[in-house]
Amino acid sequence: MIFRLIQIVLPQIKKEQSERIIKKMDVMDYSCSKFSKTHLKFDIIVKMDRSEELLEIFQKEFSVLDGFRIIIIPIETYIPFPEEESNSENLETKKQSERISREEIYAHVSEMSQLTRIYMILVAASAFVASIGLLNDDVAVIIGAMIIAPLLGPNIGLSLATVMGNRKFIVRSVKTNLIGFLIAAAVSIAVGMIFVVNPQNPSIVLRTDIGRGSFFLALASGLAGSLALTTGLTTALVGVMVAVALMPPLAAFGLLIGSGNFYLAFGAFLLFLVNLISINLAATVSFMAQNIKPIEEEESRKAKITARKSIMLLASILIILFALIRFHIIY
């Protein structure tokens, strides 16, 4: 069982109303204390899968009030440990939610999607290491490049921003992604211009061949990335999985461009695009299936329309890419 400590600060005049709300919810425990001369603070311990409902009610009721704020703190354990629910109650809980709150998801992904110097340095380092690994046909080095590639955040961030209908977040995620990809391409192109590139190298040839396996790998990466974030699991290994689908094809593209092998480079670029679109498509569908949406009904309606249009657009782009791939293979 996973718990959250939710601290809510609001005006003292709302104490009775707040307590009525809390008592109606399935909370483990709560207390109330003085926060300031005019405000009080509730400390509420709740199961992770019940936190979003509680947060949503309080935000709808009190978000416009002066001084209102919410702090969410993960709890390692709770003693005495609560009794296990019966099977019927457990099934009902699972139907309600099996993930952390949208507020936690948003805060986590927003931080991962930031364009920072560290992000750009890690992308450049990953592209360089991946390029050297491809040149030497060294799988261990290529895996090392995947470990340091910070590509999960902006891609999952784009999908989350889509289902939340947050245009600023969408623009920021696209910007972070685009700059990261340009840096990786520039580094690998430079490596391709400096070192001798063997286009028959198995590691490079593998990244120019678009097969069904690559497509399903990308779909699985997007699905795994979204689920890891929404369930509060570690994203480190999933981040490697996403990087596996993106960085090697991008590095191979740069190496082949830098060495003048433009035909093979086009194949690597197509593989990169297919993987990129597939990751975002799978993550967007996953977020929608988990009912992640804005609190307000009108915003939720608009966000759902945006998400559906995005899914249709991504699916259409995939169809076009597969047509280009077939044309590329034939000619």
* Rounded Cα–Cα distance for residues 238 and 227 (Å): 10
- Tens-digit pLDDT profile for residues 49-87: 888 889 999 999 999 999 999 999 988 877 777 666 554
Alpha-carbon distances of 182 from 82, 103, 221, rounded to whole Å: 51, 31, 22
- Range from 63-72, 95-104, 136-145, 175-184 carrying the lowest mean pLDDT: 95-104
Tokens of 101: 């709150």
The C-alpha angle 189, 194, 198, rounded to 5 degrees, equals: 80
11 SS3 class: strand
> Are the C-beta atoms of 46 and 28 separated by less than 8 Å?
yes
Helix axes 87-96, 48-62, angle to 10 degrees: 50
- Tens-digit pLDDT profile for residues 232-283: 766 666 677 677 888 999 999 999 999 999 989 998 998 899 989 999 999 9
Give the model's pLDDT for residue 254.
Answer: 96
List Cβ neighbours of 228 (8 Å cut-off, separation of 6 or more).
Answer: 234, 235, 238
Give the model's pLDDT for residue 8.
Answer: 95
The C-alpha angle 100, 277, 241, rounded to 5 degrees, equals: 60
Amino acid at 16: E
- Taking the model in full, what pTM does it have? 0.82
- Tens-digit pLDDT profile for residues 82-126: 666 554 555 444 444 567 888 888 888 888 889 999 999 999 999
Give the model's pLDDT for residue 10.
Answer: 95
Measured in Å, how far apart are the chain's first and last C-alpha atoms? 57
Domains in the chain: ranges and CATH: 3-96 (3.30.70.120), 102-330 (no CATH)
